[in-house]
Each structure stands twice: as C-alpha cells, then as structure tokens.
Amino acid sequence: MLQAIKYHEGRLEILDQLQLPFVEKYIPIQTAEDGWHAIKEMKVRGAPAIAIVAMLALSAELSTFSAADQIPQAAKETHEFIAKKLDYLVTSRPTAVNLSDAVRKLRSLVTDRASQSGSTGHDVAAAFMQAAEDMLGKDLEDNQKIGNNGAEWILAHAAKSEDSQVTVLTHCNTGSLATSGYGTALGVVRSLATKHILRHAYCTETRPYNQGSRLTAFELVHDSIPATLITDSMAAALLADSRAGVNAIVVGADRVAANGDTANKIGTYGLAVLAKHHGVKFLVAAPLTTIDLATKAGEDIIIEERPATEVTSIKGPREGTGTDSLTLDTVRIAAPGINVWNPAFDITPSTLIDGIITEVGVLEKGDDGQYHMGGLFDNQA
C-alpha cells in the first residue's frame, strides 16, 4: 500500500505530493517548521494526514533534542516549548478540523503530564512523542473500519436488488496519500474492490489543484482498481448515463459540523446537488476526528482561499525530468488580468447527505430529518 507518512524512532519522512504522480520521492521532516511548510505548500495534504504530519514533525524535533540531551529538565519549560510549537503548527491550514483537534488533545495531554508531581521535561516530551505516534496507527485502523462500514452500507442501501456490484464516483483525494494509509472515501472504494463488490470507480479531476487526476488516479492505478477519470464538469452527464450506472457518490471531509453540514474540497456541494437530482446516494466518509461538535453549522466554518495562480495556471513536468528528480514548469492558461476566486473548500448542507460513514458506524438522519452526531461519541475515550 502507498504510504504518505513514514515514521520510525523520531525520524519522519513524507512522500512529496507536489512531485506525484511523476516521481515518488520521500523528504525528511526534522522540525515543526519543516512540518508547517510541508503542510502550507501542499507537500502533504488531506485532513487526517495534515494533523498527523504536524504532530510527528514536532515529535521529530523533540527526538533530536532528546538524543542531544537538550530537553529542558523542568516539566514546565518543556510544556511551554511544546505549547508554543503547537500554536504555530495550527496556523498552517485552517479548514480541516483534524489539525486543531490533534493540537487540542495533545496540548491537554502534555498539560496533564507536566502537572503530575515529579514529572520531568523528558517525561513530558516522551508523553507527547508517544501520543503522536499512536495517532498514526489509530488513523490506519479507523480507516479500515470506515472502508468496511461504508462498503457494507452501500451494498445494503445503494445497490440495485438484482445486482451484486456497485459503481461509485469519488472526488478529490481521500486515499492513502491523504491519511496514514488506506483512506476514508477512497478506503470505501478500496474495501468495495477487496470484497469484489466494486464494478467501477469514477474519480473527478478536482480542479483547480487536480488532487483527483494526480493523486487519486495514481492510487487507483497503483492498486489496480477498475477506474475512470472524468473532469469535474462531466459529473452530471455521468450520473445521467444509465450505462455508467453510478449507485453512490462517496467523498471525504475536512470538517463535519454538529448538524452534519460538511466542508470538503470545492466541487463537493455541486456533486451532492447532482446526486439528489439523479436519486443517487451521497455519502461522506470521515473519522470521528473530522467531526467538530463545537461548530454548529456549515456557515461557521472558515473556508481557506488559495492563490489565484492555482486557477490561472497549470503545472507539468519539464521534458527530460521526472525519473528521480523533477522540475515542474508552470504554464498560464487564463487570460492575463482576469480576477480569480479560489475557495479551496465548499459546504454541503446536511440535507443532501444520506449518511456519514465513520469508524464506529454509518450515521443516518433521525426521523426528524436531522443528524444527531453526539451518539457517535458515546463510548469514546
């Protein structure tokens, strides 16, 4: 399986996603600053992956200090150092809640550890590093459960009675490259394929940054999953085409509000509207860490706006480069002088979502037509 994040005993490497699908190159991340830049510059992307890389980047830095015997003796000092780095890391990208959730949880953990009597700076750093590493393993396990839950739900609710296979459409990249492995929405596709329930998967190009054509398509080819790439503008025609026979659309999420409204890659909302029109099931797949009970509704979610050049230009490999090192050339494709609006995400209202697939099950709306998210967190630590 593809691995976007490699971590072993304080050494962190990430697959540089700016070079994909042309070159598979891992780059070292040694400090919180390295992590911040990798996230901001989209060398790593996808809500769960961003959170994990941020925490492991700080772990790598603490590990170097620890090896050089430079961790402050006093628990309070180490706690302050970690808290400052967390404040910095959380500023790298605003929309995905997984990052702020990880920061909140690990901050609280180090605060507790530092307040225990007899705690040393080393104890606090060790507690942080262990918790960050645990996040990596837990995310992978959760994704496998999401994949399984989603595949079973789709077979039970979206397959035609006479048919034992389904065709799905997915958007953006939600696979191994966007998580610690397996993926969320693409994990559902993977699980359908493993269970031999998948007839075909369609993935959108996902303009303007092309996560679909560059990353999802790369993963689908890598795993030999039967799949076809479409441009975003072809989705309506695809759903109208009975030969394609799309049963369900499955997407990931950057933040799910308490009422089920979901922020995800720009274009998701349009797909949900199309799904409703064509009577196709529309599902959001996300771990509990993406559900933000503190945000009441979609209108409260801050949507990141990205540079105009992502819309006005495309990037491609310079001829003759691309085996082990790559030079990307940027080519302008839009008329000079035109204004650009480039929101990275949009909000899909919960009314358009048929189910939220998580590691603890698939949540559907209650009899009142509303999502009651709180129940998902019963029995959670």
Active site residues: 254
Locate 313 and state its tokens.
Answer: 């230009």
Residues 6+ apart with CB under 8 A from 12: 5, 6, 28, 29, 30, 35, 53, 56, 57, 59, 60
Minimum CB separation from ligand MRU for residue 290, in Å? 8
CA distance 345 to 349: 13
Q: Which is nearer to ligand MRU, 48 or 121 (CB)?
A: 48
Q: Which stretch binds ligand MRU (CB under 6 A): 21-29, 177-185, 233-241, 273-281?
A: 177-185
Locate 262 and state its tokens.
Answer: 């979901």
Decide: residue 194, CB within 10 A, 0-12 exposed, 13-18 middle, 19+ buried.
middle
Minimum CB separation from ligand MRU for residue 89, in Å? 15
Number of residues that bind ligand MRU (CB under 6 A): 17
Report if residue 52 touches ligand MRU, rule: CB under 6 A: no
Q: What letter represents residue 281's amino acid?
A: K
Which string of b and e fits 151-181 if b means at least 16 CB within 10 Å? bbbbbeebbeeeeebbbbbbbbbbbbbbbbb
**In this chain, which of 94, 121, 252, 260 binds ligand MRU, going by CB under 6 A?**
252
Order across the sheet with 345-348: list the strands: 291-292, 255-257, 262-265, 345-348
Interface residues for ligand MRU in 274-313 (CB under 6 A)? none
**In this chain, which of 254, 292, 346, 359 binds ligand MRU, going by CB under 6 A?**
254
Minimum CB separation from ligand MRU for residue 229, in Å? 16
Q: Which stretch binds ligand MRU (CB under 6 A): 56-64, 218-226, 251-259, 346-354?
A: 251-259
Q: Which is nearer to ligand MRU, 82 or 286 (CB)?
A: 286
Q: Please tell me whether residue 133 adopts helix, strand or coil conformation.
A: helix
Report if residue 256 touches ligand MRU, rule: CB under 6 A: no
Report if residue 204 touches ligand MRU, rule: CB under 6 A: no
Closest residue to bound ligand MRU by CB: 252
Report if residue 48 touches ligand MRU, rule: CB under 6 A: yes
Residues 6+ apart with CB under 8 A from 336: none
Report if residue 264 touches ligand MRU, rule: CB under 6 A: yes
Report if residue 184 touches ligand MRU, rule: CB under 6 A: yes
Q: Please, are residues 377 and 287 in contact by the beta-carbon 8 Å criterion? A: no
Minimum CB separation from ligand MRU for residue 252, in Å? 3
Interface residues for ligand MRU in 55-94 (CB under 6 A)? none
Q: Please tell me whether residue 167 adopts helix, strand or coil conformation.
A: strand
Report if residue 172 touches ligand MRU, rule: CB under 6 A: yes
Q: What DSSP character marks residue 18? A: T
Report if residue 100 touches ligand MRU, rule: CB under 6 A: no
Report if residue 45 touches ligand MRU, rule: CB under 6 A: yes
**In this chain, which of 179, 210, 262, 348 binds ligand MRU, going by CB under 6 A?**
179
Cβ count within 10 A of residue 98: 27
List Cα–Cα distances, 123 to 52, 72, 128, 185, in angstroms: 21, 10, 9, 38
Q: Which is nearer to ligand MRU, 37 or 122 (CB)?
A: 37
Minimum CB separation from ligand MRU for residue 343, in Å? 11
Phi, psi of 28, rounded to the nearest 5 degrees: -75, 145
Report if residue 16 touches ligand MRU, rule: CB under 6 A: no
Minimum CB separation from ligand MRU for residue 80, in Å? 30
Sign of dihedral through CA atoms 321, 327, 333, 336? negative
Q: Which is nearer to ligand MRU, 16 or 62 (CB)?
A: 16
Interface residues for ligand MRU in 330-349 (CB under 6 A)? 344
- Conformation bin of residue 353: beta by default, left when phi > 0, alpha when psi is -120 to 50: beta
Report if residue 96 touches ligand MRU, rule: CB under 6 A: yes
CA distance 142 to 245: 29
| Contact residues: ligand MRU, CB under 6 A | 45-48, 96, 172, 174, 178-179, 184, 211, 252-254, 264-265, 344
